[in-house]
């Protein structure tokens, strides 16, 4: 189903649009109920069934709520192109702000209310973010993501991400719908690997990002998660895409005095991060497949964007860790 952007911005009274590309049924009722029971009720819920073998339609039919819009894909989009489902939900949105939900995650009851307050406090921004709980299959929280300052520039935000000082999932973001659509939606990378990072960086632009200190989102990790661990090639392709976007972004020097201080630090961090990613891939291959993994890295060095130096460095580290 092809959706034209010009048909999708029917800005009415709806403040939030929430999209769920649904494939798994196990936790979907819990996910939907966490949305329908929000303390702030001015929203629409778009549920897109990606040709699931689970009976998603019957689950949705059990809710008598005219804010729910249910659609089905004609063909399964699948894991590699899952961003197409994200953008399909986005382009259907009528709300001023957009939230993308995983079908097994949950919102805290005041998620929308607190984000409404944050958008009113920073009306000039296009991207808003909150802290998250990590929950298990029993919906018990066992971990909490790092807290962030209430506001930070995009350069500062990226710098902290590359230094592992920021944790995020796509559903702990609220985006201004029009701004994200103007930038062609969620940034497409294979398996959506790194797509949440690039999308948030891209959408923050020159304006920056606002964070809520409270954990308003619950990200579920369970034995039933569908992961994309089977394709190292696709993940590496996604990482290369992420690094390519960030490299282009860093060609533009910042305007503010604080960002001018951060900028050289960020560039150094970026170079270090790229090298770490390459060496990490090679070590993973060696650890899993030994010499065969090393040979594969050499044969696919152009695909993986690896240099001879990267391979030698990875071998040296692997040998030193064994001694």
At 80-101, the pLDDT tens digits run 999 999 999 999 999 999 999 9
Q: Where are the beta strands (DSSP E) in 136-197?
A: 141-144, 151-152, 173-176
* 4 pLDDT more than 50: no
Rounded average pLDDT over 189-214:
96
Tell me the sheet residues that pair with 210.
128, 151
**Which token pair is 143?**
């971990």
User: How large is the average pLDDT for residues 251-277?
Assistant: 96
Q: How far does the chain reach from its first CA to its final CA, in angstroms?
A: 57
Local confidence band at 230 (pLDDT 50, 70, 90 cut-offs) = low
215/257 same-domain check: no
| Owning domain of residue 309 | 253-322
Which pLDDT does position 170 carry in this prediction? 96
Q: What is the percentage of the chain residues whose pLDDT exceeds 90?
A: 87
Supply the Cα-derived Rg of the chain in whole angstroms. 21
Whether residues 288 and 157 share a domain: the answer is: no
d(CA 160, CA 200): 13
Does 312 score more than 90 pLDDT? yes
Domain total in the chain: 2
Mapping DSSP to helix (H, G, I), strand (E, B) and coil, where does residue 46 land? strand
pLDDT tens column, 125-172: 999 999 999 999 999 999 999 999 999 999 999 999 999 998 899 999
Q: Are residues 214 and 274 in the same domain?
A: no
Residue given tokens 């909150």 in the structure block: 130
Both 138 and 37 in a single domain?
A: yes
Say yes or no: 206 and 149 in one domain.
Answer: yes
In a domain, 204, yes or no: yes
Final residue of a domain: which of 177, 197, 220?
220
Please give the Cα distance from 199 to 216 (Å, whole number). 20
Angle between the 195-204 and 232-249 helix axes, to the nearest 10 degrees?
A: 20
> Reduced to 3 states, what is the DSSP secondary structure of residue 219?
strand
Residue 226: which pLDDT band, with cuts at 50, 70 and 90?
low
Alpha-carbon span 127 to 176, nearest angstrom: 7
Which pTM value belongs to this model?
0.91
Q: Which domain CATH number covers 198? A: 3.90.550.10
């Amino acid at each position: 189903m092809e959706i034209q952007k010009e048909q999708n911005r029917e800005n009415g009274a709806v403040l939030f649009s929430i999209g769920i590309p649904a494939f798994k049924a196990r936790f979907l009722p819990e996910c939907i109920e966490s949305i329908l029971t929000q303390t702030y009720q001015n929203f629409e819920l778009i549920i897109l069934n990606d040709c699931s073998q689970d009976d998603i339609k019957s689950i949705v039919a059990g809710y008598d709520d005219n804010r729910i819009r249910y659609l089905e894909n004609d063909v399964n989009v699948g894991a590699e192109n899952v961003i197409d489902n994200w953008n399909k939900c986005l382009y259907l949105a009528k709300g001023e702000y957009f939230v993308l939900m995983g079908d097994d995650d949950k919102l805290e009851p005041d998620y929308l209310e607190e984000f409404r307050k944050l958008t009113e406090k920073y009306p000039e921004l296009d991207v808003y973010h909150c802290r998250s709980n990590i929950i298990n299959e029993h919906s018990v929280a066992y971990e909490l993501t790092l807290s962030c300052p209430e506001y930070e520039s995009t350069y500062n935000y990226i710098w902290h991400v590359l230094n592992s000082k920021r944790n995020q999932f796509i559903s702990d973001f609220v985006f201004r719908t029009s701004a994200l659509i103007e930038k062609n939606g969620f940034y497409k990378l294979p398996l959506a690997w790194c797509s949440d990072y690039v999308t948030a960086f891209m959408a923050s632009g020159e304006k920056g990002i606002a964070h809520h200190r409270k954990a308003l989102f619950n990200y579920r990790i369970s034995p039933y998660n569908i992961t994309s661990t089977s394709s190292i090639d696709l993940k590496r392709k996604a990482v290369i895409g992420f690094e390519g976007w960030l490299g282009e972004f860093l060609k533009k020097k910042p305007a503010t005095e604080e960002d001018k201080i951060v900028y050289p630090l960020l560039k150094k961090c970026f170079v270090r991060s790229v090298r770490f990613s390459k060496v990490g891939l090679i070590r993973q291959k060696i650890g899993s497949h030994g010499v065969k993994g090393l040979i594969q890295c050499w044969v696919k060095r152009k695909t993986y964007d690896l240099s001879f130096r990267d391979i030698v460095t990875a071998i040296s580290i692997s040998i030193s860790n064994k001694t």
